[in-house]
Amino acid sequence: MGKIDTIDTTQEVDAIVIGSGITGGWAAKELSEKGLKVLMLERGKPLEHGTGYVGEHQPPWERNNKGMRPRELYKDEYEIQSTSYAFDETTRHFWNNDAQNPYDFNEQDPFHWVRADVVGGRSLLWARQSYRWSDLDFEANKKEGIGIDWPIRYKDLAPWYSYVEKFIGVSGQAMGLDHLPDGEFQKPMEMNVVERHVASAIAENFSDRVMTIGRTATLTEPLPGRAACHYCGPCHRGCSTGSYFSSLSSTLPAAKATGNFDLRANALVESLEYDADTKRVSAVRVIDTVTGERSRYSAKLIFLCASTVGSTQILLNSTDADSGRSFANTSDALGRYMMDHTYRAGARGIIPGFEEYYPYGNRPNGIYIPRFRNVDGDDGLGFTRGYGYQGSAGRLSWDTMSKITPGFGADFKAGLRKPGPWYMNLGGFGEILPYAHNTVALHKSKKDRFGIPQVTFHFEFGENEKRHREDVVEQAVAMLKAAGATRIDPFNAEMVGGAAIHEMGTARMGHDPKEAVLNAHNQAHAASNLFVTDGSAMASASCVNPSLTYMALTARAVDYAVTQLQAGAI
């Protein structure tokens, strides 16, 4: 791309999509396929599918600094982003520069805002784990009197899950569980020999749980324009064969193919203008991040898909001159009820034996143990809701073995030629409840380089989260023991909000405009032509990875919006 696509500001567009990540890509595809002229605004730099993936298939000996992390650069300019496992010199060009685009980070009250800064957003970086919600999730708030009731149920979303899964391609194993509904699966990837051993030990010893292969938006069978995975891994460097779902590989090409789609990169949305008489968003204010030039666009429909924090920041910054309040905040819920998942608790252990096996290929997927706590009522464990485990088995390699093998010389070298023992790792992702005091807000004085107020966070973990994490660790240890593991190493790292990169909930859906920002169709209660379909819409968090649900909500919202537009109701 290189140059900025220029678009005449007077040009008539039907719909504006803000953000090109997982949800924005879906909004653009659906809107343009329904015949609307779509303009996508993305703050990040242009990036082309394929040629933009400069780290893809890069052999270890060609890495920058031979793979040594430039520590000072990371500390000075990528302090937050470099905390992600997916951040290194093969992917750095995808990520936000925290010095250039800062937020108010406070070490005493830390929150990690993990984000990309390119066309495609975090769809390039995500780990692709894709699970459906069930009514166990949608009904929980109402049953327990926590937060507000979801305005939808599983039956409302089920057809949209199917619709999305067929397009993105999800490989997985059908299991017939009510609380983790099966999807439209491509053939599952394989568990390796040790994972199967652990799975059968779990099945024999724990009647309430089962271990399966992860459900991942990675193709095991080709789809139009996208090849089946060739197991090169890791994926977050980009995939020019389009074998994992990203906006660049999938939704944006579909949108482009309609001829109804324009993309403007380096286009930072500052705020929305609101017309209180018509109760509509009348314009979108944009800053060109290269030239600093400001422009305005208007459209019949606005899809705000800038990610949970990005969209909430835009809404908070869209204030009424008189009241100083965001037009969208009729409820006081805007910016509150921030959730994420608990993460980095679990256990790993050495699994003796199986020395003759050494898997071939880099499978971009692990195992999954679906939630088994509080599934059929309260298990009486002192916490509500639950968690699921992700993990994998593999063999230790030179990096670890060289440290635990004393000595040096020819024998040492020969010893490292054989892989070390098998290990199995189980890490829990747990549901965090919606708390009013967990917030994202605009900082009172700190501004970014364009004068936009920086965001600031407050995030606390409650007793419920602390308790379920203890259970996460205990049960991981118990399952590893049952599988015959030795040298079991439980872990329960310090919790940091945002670290699971599943931030959500700060513009929640709900029936009542006094309690919620969005209605049952992700439409703003305050503005009929505004739809917010990213994670900010979530009224609770479930314990499964969220992006599949965001996609289904987005496709469903577009369908509703276009129907309403055609009916003259918007």
Ligand X SMILES: Cc1cc2nc3c(=O)[nH]c(=O)nc-3n(C[C@H](O)[C@H](O)[C@H](O)COP(=O)(O)OP(=O)(O)OC[C@H]3O[C@@H](n4cnc5c(N)ncnc54)[C@H](O)[C@@H]3O)c2cc1C
The number of residues making up the chain comes to 570
Instruction: Say how many residues touch other proteins, by CB under 8 A.
Output: 51
b/e sequence 472-503, b meaning 16+ C-beta within 10 Å = bbebbbebbeebebeeeeeebeebbbbbbbbb
Rule CB under 6 A: which of 499-518 touch ligand X? Answer: 501
Residue 249 makes contact with ligand X by CB under 6 A: no
Which of 265-280 are b and which e, b meaning 16 or more Cβ less than 10 Å from the residue's Cβ?
A: bbbbbbbbebeeeeeb
- Chain-centroid distance of CA 273 in Å reads 28
Q: What are phi and psi of 77, to 5 degrees?
A: -120, -15
Q: Judged by CB under 6 A, which stretch of 5-13, 90-98, 238-246, 381-389 contacts ligand SF4?
A: 238-246
Q: Residue 144 class from Cβ within 10 Å (0-12 exposed, 13-18 middle, 19+ buried)?
A: middle
> Which pair of tokens denotes residue 372?
């088994």
Q: Is 269 in the site for other proteins (CB under 8 A)?
A: no
Instruction: Give the residue carrying structure tokens 């916490």.
Output: 383
DSSP 537: G
Please list every residue from 465 through 504 that binds ligand X, using CB under 6 A. 501
b vs e for 94-132, b when ≥16 Cβ sit within 10 Å of the residue's Cβ? bbbebeebbbbbeeeebbbbbbbbbbbbbbbbbbbbbbb
Least CB distance to ligand X at residue 43 (A): 4
Q: Which does 63 bind (CB under 5 to 8 A by kind): ligand X, ligand SF4, other proteins, none?
A: other proteins
Residue 319 binds which entry of other proteins, ligand X, ligand SF4, none, CB below 5-8 Å type-dependent: none
Q: Which does 239 bind (CB under 5 to 8 A by kind): other proteins, ligand X, ligand SF4, none?
A: ligand SF4
Q: Which one, 216 or 312, has the nearer CB to ligand SF4?
A: 216
Residues from 39 through 68 that contact ligand X (CB under 6 A): 41-44
Inter-residue contact 20 to 119 (CB < 8 Å): yes
CB of 187 to ligand SF4, least distance (A): 14
Structure tokens at 318: 């869209």
Q: Which does 84 bind (CB under 5 to 8 A by kind): other proteins, ligand SF4, ligand X, none?
A: ligand X
Binds ligand X by CB under 6 A, chosen from 17, 114, 507, 570: 114
Of 518, 510, 429, 503, the residue nearest 147 (C-alpha):
510
* Measured distance CA(104)–CA(362) in Å, rounded: 38
Residue with tokens 């700190």: 446
Among 70, 110, 222, 233, binds ligand SF4 (CB under 6 A): 233
Any contact of residue 189 with other proteins (CB under 8 A)? yes
Q: What DSSP string runs through 414-432? A: HHHTS---EEEEEEEEEEP
**Binding test (CB under 8 A) with other proteins, winner from 176, 417, 494, 568:** 417
Figure out which of the listed residues 78, 111, 244, 459 binds ligand SF4, where binding follows CB under 6 A.
Answer: 244
Please say which residue, 214 or 349, places its beta carbon nearer to ligand X: 214
Q: Does 418 bind ligand SF4 (CB under 6 A)?
A: no
**234 preceded by a cis bond (ω within 30 of 0):** yes
CB neighbour list of residue 449: distance below 8 Å, 6 or more residues apart: 100, 101
Per CB under 6 A, contacts with ligand SF4 among 163-222 are: 218
CA-wise closest residue to 351 among 212, 480, 191: 480
Nearer to ligand SF4, 234 or 453 (CB): 234
**Span 312-341, contacts to ligand X by CB under 6 A:** 314
If one asks whether residue 232 binds ligand SF4 (CB under 6 A), the answer comes out as: yes
Of 413, 443, 466, 514, the one binding other proteins (CB under 8 A) is 413
- Residues 133-172 binding ligand X (CB under 6 A) are none
Which segment (20-28, 193-201, 234-242, 282-290) binds ligand SF4 by CB under 6 A? Answer: 234-242
Pick between residue 113 and residue 244 the one whose CB is nearest to ligand SF4: 244
Start-to-end CA span in the chain (Å): 35
Kindly tell me which of 388 and 394 has the beta carbon lying closer to ligand X. 388
How many residues belong to the site for ligand SF4 (CB under 6 A)?
A: 13
In angstroms, how far apart are the furthest CA atoms of the chain?
81
User: 3-class DSSP state for residue 123?
Assistant: helix
Of 35 and 361, which CB lies nearer to other proteins in the complex structure? 361
- Which position among 124, 191, 485, 538 is part of the footprint of other proteins (CB under 8 A)? 191
Could you tell me if 213 and 191 are in contact, meaning their C-beta atoms sit under 8 angstroms apart? Answer: yes
The residue (of 102 and 364) whose beta carbon lies closer to ligand SF4 is: 364
Among 54, 177, 193, 496, binds other proteins (CB under 8 A): 193
Under the criterion CB under 6 A, does residue 241 sit at the interface with ligand SF4?
yes
Distances (CA, A) of 569 to 278, 303, 304, 517, 563: 12, 17, 19, 19, 9
Contact set for other proteins, span 350-379 (CB under 8 A): 355-363
As a whole number of angstroms, the distance between CA 189 and CA 221 comes to 11
Strand bridging mode 530-532 / 299-304: parallel
Range 56-75, binding other proteins (CB under 8 A):
57, 59-68, 70-71
Binding ligand SF4 (rule: CB under 6 A), the pick from 229, 283, 286, 440 is 229
Looking at beta carbons only, is 281 or 551 nearer to ligand SF4?
A: 551
**Residue 321 touches which member of ligand SF4, ligand X, other proteins, none, C-beta under 5-8 Å by kind:** none
Distance CA 519, CA 516 (A): 7
- Three-class SS state of 264: strand
Binding to ligand SF4 (CB under 6 A): which residues in 335-364? 362, 364
Structure tokens given for 65: 């600094």
CB of 219 to ligand X, least distance (A): 15
Structure tokens, 180: 């983790």
How far apart are alpha carbons 417 and 419 in whole angstroms? 6
Q: Which residues bind ligand SF4 (CB under 6 A)?
A: 218, 229-233, 235, 239, 241, 243-244, 362, 364
Q: Which residues bind ligand X (CB under 6 A)?
A: 18-24, 41-44, 84, 86, 114-117, 121-123, 125-129, 268-269, 305-307, 310, 314, 501, 534-535, 545-547, 550
Q: Which residues bind other proteins (CB under 8 A)?
A: 57, 59-68, 70-71, 189-193, 195-196, 230-233, 355-363, 397-399, 402-404, 406-410, 412-414, 416-419
